[in-house]
Amino acid sequence: MLNLVLGLLDLDLLGLEASLNRVVLDIVAMTGAGNLLNRILGLLG
């Protein structure tokens, strides 16, 4: 599992502006053969 917590975030992309106070992102990889993302997250964790 990868847990990413970001504080204040201001985005400006091609004229679209967004302000976020807090962003929490939890990424969980599924187990099984052929899951490249699972292997990468396993190396990071």
Q: What is the pLDDT of residues 19-38, one digit of tens each?
A: 989 889 888 766 666 677 77
Q: Please state the domain extents for the chain.
A: 2-44
Q: Residues 1, 24: contact at Cβ < 8 Å?
A: no
Residues with Cβ < 8 Å from 8, sequence gap 6 or more? 19, 20, 21, 22
pTM recorded for the entire structure: 0.44
pLDDT for residue 34: 67
pLDDT for residue 32: 67
Q: Residues 22, 7: contact at Cβ < 8 Å?
A: yes
Please say if the pLDDT value at position 3 is more than 80. yes
pLDDT for residue 45: 64
